[in-house]
């Protein structure tokens, strides 16, 4: 029983960490896109800047971590936890990009937290 609990904690830590990597990856991709000017197909090379490439790297690491978690855990438990990534992206956008979060955004964040919590509780009791 103790080993199962330890495995569950490690699995959730892996999933949550993967959402951080993916969220920071999306932030850097956005930052890289803001640095590029794409007016034509030939301008696609302007995407090859540090932020854009670094963002894809972070996003890729997050994807690999998620694959590892999906291999070990139950899909019905692991996959809904990925929704936490929406929270990290909203907070990064607000804090680093100075985007404004509306009341609806904050309510959505609370719904996501509640939903992820219910999924976790349902697994313990189911």
| pLDDT at residue 1 in the model | 44
| pLDDT at residue 44 in the model | 64
Contact 92/23 with Cβ under 8 angstroms? yes
| pLDDT at residue 75 in the model | 84
Distances from the Cα of 113 to the Cαs of 48, 59, 82, 120, in angstroms? 35, 22, 11, 11
The structure's pTM equals 0.80
DSSP 3-70: HHHHHHHHHHHHHHHHHHHHHHHHHHHHHHHHH---SSGGGGGGG-SHHHHHHHHHHHHHHHHHHHHH
| pLDDT at residue 104 in the model | 96
| pLDDT at residue 92 in the model | 95
pLDDT in tens, the chain (126 residues): 445 555 678 888 999 999 999 999 999 999 888 877 766 556 666 667 888 899 999 999 999 999 999 998 888 888 888 889 999 999 999 999 999 999 999 999 999 999 888 876 666 655
């Amino acid at each position: 029983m103790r080993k199962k609990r330890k495995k569950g904690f490690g699995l959730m830590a892996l999933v949550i960490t993967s959402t951080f990597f993916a969220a920071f990856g999306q932030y850097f991709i956005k930052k890289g896109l803001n640095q590029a000017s794409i007016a034509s197909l030939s301008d696609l090379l302007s995407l090859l800047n540090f932020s854009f490439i670094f963002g894809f790297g972070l996003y890729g690491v997050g994807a690999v971590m998620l694959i590892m978690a999906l291999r070990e855990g139950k899909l019905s438990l692991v996959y809904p936890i990925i929704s936490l990534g929406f929270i990290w992206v909203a907070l990064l956008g607000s804090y680093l990009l100075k985007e404004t979060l509306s009341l609806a955004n904050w309510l959505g964040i609370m719904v996501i937290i509640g939903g992820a919590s219910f999924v976790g509780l349902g697994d313990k009791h189911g």
